[in-house]
Structure 1
Amino acid sequence: MKVVIAPDSFKGSITATDAATAIAEGWASVDPAAEIVRRPMADGGEGTVDAFAAAVADAKRMPITVDGPAGASVRTSWLLLPPTEDAPAGTAVIDLASTSGIELMDRLRPWEADTTGFGQAIAAALEHGVSRLVLGIGSSASTDGGTGLLRALGARFLDDGGAPVAAGARGVLAIASVDMSGLRPPPETFVLTDVTNPLTGPRGTAAVFGPQKGLTEPSDIESVDDALLRLADLLGLDAQHPGTGAAGGVGGALVAWGARLTPGAQEVAELLDLAATIEGADVVVTGEGSYDGQSGDGKVPSFVAGLAASAGARAALVAGRITADADIGLFAGVASLTEIAGSAEAALAEPARHLRQAGAALARSLSD
C-alpha cells in the first residue's frame, strides 16, 4: 500500500515536516508494510522553506542574520535549490514568517513592525546570484505596505521635507514621495500567497488584517488605509488588484517590484511535483492546524485532496480542530487532535504525540 503524507504546518504548534513525520510514524505502527512517502506542504506561510528543504534533494540552507519585525536581530536562513534548466544559477526560497513574521514578536507593535528583514534576506539571495526567487509571504507581523522590504532592496521613502520616513505603519503615514532609482531589478519571482484581498478598502489589508496586528481603533485603520492608497499611487500600483493586500501590503510591494502573485498551495505542489508523487497512491493524508469553513478555498488540505481525487486515491485529513462549518466531504477519513487529546490545550501541548495517534487511527480505518 502506498501512502503519501502531505500536511501543512499546524501554525504555532508543529512544522509541516515534523507533522508529516509524526503521522507517518503512527501509520507505520499499524501498517509497517506500507510504502510511506512524506511530502510536507505549505501555501506560502510558515514552513515554506522547510517544505522545499524536505522535498528537494541537495537543497542547501544559507544562514543569515536579519533585522526582525521589531528591529532585533534574527538568525534564520534562506534555501538554495540546485540549478535547473529554468534557473541555471539556482532558486532561492525565502519565507517572510522566518524573517519578519508575527511569531518573532514578543508583543504586537502595530506602528513600528516592518518587513526590513524579509528584504534583507531577498537581497542576500540576489547577492548570491540566484536566477529565480520563490517568496512565501504568510504570517506577517506588520502593515507597512512592504516598504521595509523595498527599502532593503534600494528604494527610498521620503516625507514632505525630503527626509527618510520611520519604519512601519507610522512611517507609511508620512510618505510624500518615493525614489525607486536605486531599487535592485528582480529576477523571475514567484510570490506564494493564499490571500486575494486588495491593498485598500473594506476588504483591504488595514481593515481585514490590521486588527490581528494591533490596529484596533477605527480611526487608525482608516488612516493607514488612506496612507496605503497614497503609497499605491506613488508606486503606480492598482490598490484593488487581488492579493496586493497580502501580508500587510507586501503582496502589493512585490507586484510593484515586478513579481508575480500565485496561489501558494498550487505553486508549492507544482514545484515539488506533488501530483507525480501521488500517482499510484492508495491514500493521501493532509492536514493543518484548523480546518474550517475557509479551508476549502485554496488551502493546502483542499488542494491536496483534489490531487488525490484526480489520481484515484482516497484523501484523509488530520487537523488540530475541525469546526462545525467545515466541509469534510472531500475526505474518506478525518482525525481531530482536539478530540483525540480531549481538549485544544492538550493537543497544543503535545502535537507530535497526538499526530502519531491520528496517523494510527487513520491506518486502522483506511489500510484495508
Structure 2
Amino acid sequence: MRILIAPDKFAGTMTAAEAASAIADGWRRARGADTAAELPLADGGPGFIDVLEAAIPTAARRTVDACDPLGRPVKADYLREGGTAYVESAATCGLHLLTAAERDPRRTTTYGLGQVIGAAIETGARRVVVGLGGSATNDAGTGMLTALGYTCRDLAGSALPYGGAALAACTSIDGLPRTRGVEFVAATDVDSPLLGPHGATYMFGPQKGAGKSDLPLLEAALANFAEIAERDLGPVGASGWPGAGAAGGLGLAFFLLGGRRASGAKLTCEAVGLDAAVAASDLVITGEGSFDAQSLRGKLAAEVASAAAAHGKPCLVLAGKSDLDEHPDLAGVHSVTELLGSVEKAMKAPAEGLRALAESVARTWPGSEES
C-alpha cells in the first residue's frame, strides 16, 4: 500500500516533521512492504514557515530582532519570496516562548509581531501573509497595531499599557499605520469570531493561562475594544467575522488593517501539493496533539480529511489525545492516550508513544497479517 502521512505538529512535544517520522517508523514496524510518504503540514501555527520554506524553493529566510509576549528580546524569522513575506505569529507571540508560570493573557502582547511585519514592509514586501495560531496573547492584536503606528488611548488620552486586560480602558484609537498600502492575509487555524463561547477568550483563554475569574474580564475588555475600533477604524461588524478571534483576536486586527482571512490549512496544503499526494496514495494518515471540537473549526486534520474524502481515500487520525471518536470523513480516530492508558504516560515519551500507536493501527488495518 501507498501511505501518505500528513500530520500537523503535536503542540509542545513534536514538530510536524518529527510526528510524521514517528508515524512512518511505527507503520513500517508492522508493514514493511508498504511505502510511506511523509508530508509535514501546518495550519498557521508553529511550523508555518518551515512547511512553506520546504514547499517554495525560491523563498529566502530572514531574521529580525523583536520581542516575545512579555517584551523580552527574541530572534524571529520570516520568509520572503518576491514581493510576498510569510510571517509566523508564534515566532514572537507563541505560547511556547513562555513557561507555565509566565502565561497570563491579561498582560502578554503582540508587539513583537508588529516589529517583524514592519521590518518586512520596510524591505519592500507588498503582500504579507501571517500565520495565526499557537499564541500566548489575548490583546486583539493591539500590540501589533501599536508597533505599526496606531495608539490606543484611555479617557485621559494616555496610551494604554500592553495586554488584554488594558483594553477595558480603551476610549479612542488614533495614529497613522506604517503599512505602505500592503495587502494583508491572515492565515488562521480557526474560524472563531472575536467574542462569545467560541471566541478568543472563552475558547482559547484557559490554555493561555487565563483563570476562571479572568475570562469575563478579558471578554469585556475585548468587547470594549471592538466597539471603539469599529467606530474609529472600521469596518463595523468585523468582530463577528469568522477568524476575528484567531490568535487572541489578531484576526480582528488584520481586518482593521483592511486585510482578509484565508484558511492557514488550505494555504499550506495548496503550497505543498497535498491534493496530488492524496490522489497518489491508498491511505492517508493525519494527526495532531489534541483532536477535539476545535479541530473541526478550520484546523489541519479536518482539511486533510476533507481532501482524502474528495478522492475517495480512507483517512485516519493519530492523535496524542482525542475527545472525538469519529468524523464523517474519517475511517478511524486513534490516540496515544487511549493506547497507553493515561495522558501522563503519553507525554513521557511522545515520539515513541506515537510510533507504538502507528504500529498498533497498522497491524489491524485491512490487508495486514493480523487484520
Cα deviations across residues 170-221 of structure 1 (Å, max 9, x unaligned)? 4423333322424313533321224333334565434544444426436624
In the alignment, the residues of structure 1 paired with residue 52 and residue 28 of structure 2 have an alpha-carbon distance, to the nearest angstrom, of 24
Aligned twin of 1:191:
186
- 1:333–1:362: 8 Å Cα contact kept in structure 2? no
**What SS is found at the alignment partner of 2:146?**
helix
- 2:325–2:332: 8 Å Cα contact kept in structure 1? no
In the alignment, the residues of structure 2 paired with residue 210 and residue 317 of structure 1 have an alpha-carbon distance, to the nearest angstrom, of 26
Q: 1:307 to 1:36 in 2, by over 3 A?
A: same
Which of the numbers 221, 224, 233 marks the counterpart of 1:224? 221
**What SS is found at the alignment partner of 2:287?**
strand
Aligned twin of 1:357:
356
Report the AA paired with residue 92 of structure 1: A
> What aligned pairs does 1:277-316 form with structure 2 within 5 A after superposition?
277-316=277-316
Aligned twin of 1:19:
19
Range with greater deviation from structure 2 (140-149 or 193-202): 193-202
> What aligned pairs does 1:141-290 form with structure 2 within 5 A after superposition?
141-200=136-195, 204-213=199-208, 214=210, 216-217=212-213, 220-221=217-218, 223-228=220-225, 229-237=227-235, 238=237, 239-290=239-290
In the alignment, the residues of structure 2 paired with residue 333 and residue 136 of structure 1 have an alpha-carbon distance, to the nearest angstrom, of 29
Q: 1:147 to 1:351 in 2, by over 3 A?
A: same
In the alignment, the residues of structure 2 paired with residue 242 and residue 328 of structure 1 have an alpha-carbon distance, to the nearest angstrom, of 22
Cα distance, 1:328 vs structure 2: 4.4
In the alignment, the residues of structure 1 paired with residue 293 and residue 133 of structure 2 have an alpha-carbon distance, to the nearest angstrom, of 19
In the alignment, the residues of structure 1 paired with residue 88 and residue 246 of structure 2 have an alpha-carbon distance, to the nearest angstrom, of 13
In the alignment, the residues of structure 2 paired with residue 9 and residue 96 of structure 1 have an alpha-carbon distance, to the nearest angstrom, of 15
- 1:209–1:248: 8 Å Cα contact kept in structure 2? yes
Which of the numbers 88, 92, 98 marks the counterpart of 1:95? 88
**What SS is found at the alignment partner of 1:168?**
coil
Cα deviations across residues 148-171 of structure 1 (Å, max 9, x unaligned)? 111112222233444332112244
Q: 1:27 to 1:53 in 2, by over 3 A?
A: farther
- 2:191–2:297: 8 Å Cα contact kept in structure 1? no
Q: 1:277 to 1:189 in 2, by over 3 A?
A: farther
**What SS is found at the alignment partner of 2:360?**
helix
Q: 1:293 to 1:73 in 2, by over 3 A?
A: same
**TM score, norm. by length of structure 2:** 0.87
In the alignment, the residues of structure 1 paired with residue 118 and residue 139 of structure 2 have an alpha-carbon distance, to the nearest angstrom, of 18
**TM score, norm. by length of structure 1:** 0.87
In the alignment, the residues of structure 2 paired with residue 77 and residue 183 of structure 1 have an alpha-carbon distance, to the nearest angstrom, of 20
Report the AA paired with residue 235 of structure 1: L
Cα distance, 1:279 vs structure 2: 1.6
Cα distance, 1:17 vs structure 2: 1.6
In the alignment, the residues of structure 1 paired with residue 197 and residue 285 of structure 2 have an alpha-carbon distance, to the nearest angstrom, of 37
- 2:69–2:93: 8 Å Cα contact kept in structure 1? yes
- 2:68–2:112: 8 Å Cα contact kept in structure 1? yes
Aligned twin of 1:86:
none
Report the AA paired with residue 217 of structure 2: D
Cα deviations across residues 322-352 of structure 1 (Å, max 9, x unaligned)? 22x4324533354321133342112112111
Q: 1:221 to 1:156 in 2, by over 3 A?
A: closer
**What SS is found at the alignment partner of 1:285?**
strand
Report the AA paired with residue 232 of structure 1: E
In the alignment, the residues of structure 1 paired with residue 302 and residue 347 of structure 2 have an alpha-carbon distance, to the nearest angstrom, of 23
**What SS is found at the alignment partner of 2:288?**
strand
Report percent identity of matched pairs: 38
In the alignment, the residues of structure 1 paired with residue 287 and residue 89 of structure 2 have an alpha-carbon distance, to the nearest angstrom, of 22
Range with greater deviation from structure 2 (19-28 or 2-11): 19-28
Aligned twin of 1:133:
128
> Structure 1, unaligned stretches of length 5 or more?
83-88
In the alignment, the residues of structure 2 paired with residue 174 and residue 99 of structure 1 have an alpha-carbon distance, to the nearest angstrom, of 25
RMSD (CA atoms): 2.6
**What SS is found at the alignment partner of 1:318?**
strand
Aligned twin of 2:62:
62
Q: 1:207 to 1:363 in 2, by over 3 A?
A: closer
- 1:296–1:302: 8 Å Cα contact kept in structure 2? yes
In the alignment, the residues of structure 1 paired with residue 107 and residue 294 of structure 2 have an alpha-carbon distance, to the nearest angstrom, of 30
Aligned twin of 1:331:
330
Cα distance, 1:133 vs structure 2: 2.3
Cα distance, 1:124 vs structure 2: 2.2
In the alignment, the residues of structure 2 paired with residue 367 and residue 59 of structure 1 have an alpha-carbon distance, to the nearest angstrom, of 41
